[in-house]
Amino acid sequence: MSPHPSPSFRLPAFICPHCSAHSQMTWEKLYRHIYDPTGGPDDYEHEALWQCICYSCRGITLWQGFNVSGKMLSPQTTSAPMPHANLPDACSRDYSEARSIAQASPRGAAALLRLCIQKLCVELGQPGKNINSDIAALVKEGLPTRVQQALDIVRVVGNEAVHPGVMTEEDHADQVHTLFELVNIIVEQMISQPQRLENMFASLPEGSREAIAKRDSKK
């Protein structure tokens, strides 16, 4: 689990959606629904309404859940990072939709992020029909190992999100914040840094650039 986890049911500490501090949380059950199908002693408890109070800001989140399984009802927010400024427009919609549902459906967010990097591979010159093949082709073109690993992490977790039983909702809740960060890392490594280097090179005196081109043509 991340050392700074996102909000999760009955977790004693997480990143507060109100103040963004990694804070201790106090949980209190507000309402309990008891269902007795027989009218006898076999009562059992159904989902309850809970409030969770942040120690840092005293902000309240409301949850619905039972035992260790539950979902946050309010506030409707997410701690997922904003998209990188250079994330291509073709990917932005999927990324933003993933952010909007990350809290309510981590599995859905993971699947959307997988789609996001599939489109990102197209932006990097690949066909986009098979993401695994696209990554393999990028590796042959010299893709840095760390970027390849980031792409494969998002690909594998996104694949598992659409196959029930492979990973639990809790597993995805633990990992989905990291997937957003990995998408931004990929954009930084494969789009932003090359653009900055290209701009720096273009700012060199024309004579210097011509001399470099002449030198390299002799290879």
Task: Check: CB of residue 106 under 8 Å from CB of residue 33.
Answer: no
Q: Residue 54: which domain range? A: 13-74
Distance CA 77, CA 159 (A): 25
Q: Does residue 189 share a domain with residue 138?
A: yes
106 and 26 share one domain = no
Model confidence pLDDT, tens digit, residues 36-55: 555 554 445 567 889 999 99
Residue with tokens 């006898």: 40
Q: What is the CA radius of gyration of the chain?
A: 23
| Number of domain units in the chain | 2
172 falls within a domain:
yes
Q: What digits encode the pLDDT tens for the residues 91-111?
A: 999 998 888 888 778 888 889
Which pLDDT score is estimated for 42? 47
The rounded distance, in Å, linking the Cα atoms of 135 and 126 is 9
Query: Does a structural domain hold residue 116?
Result: yes
pTM metric for this prediction: 0.63
C-alpha to C-alpha distances, 78 to 64, 66, 99, 153, 177, nearest whole angstrom: 17, 22, 7, 21, 10
Beta-carbon neighbour count of residue 142 at 10 Å?
6
4/157 Cα distance (integer angstroms): 20
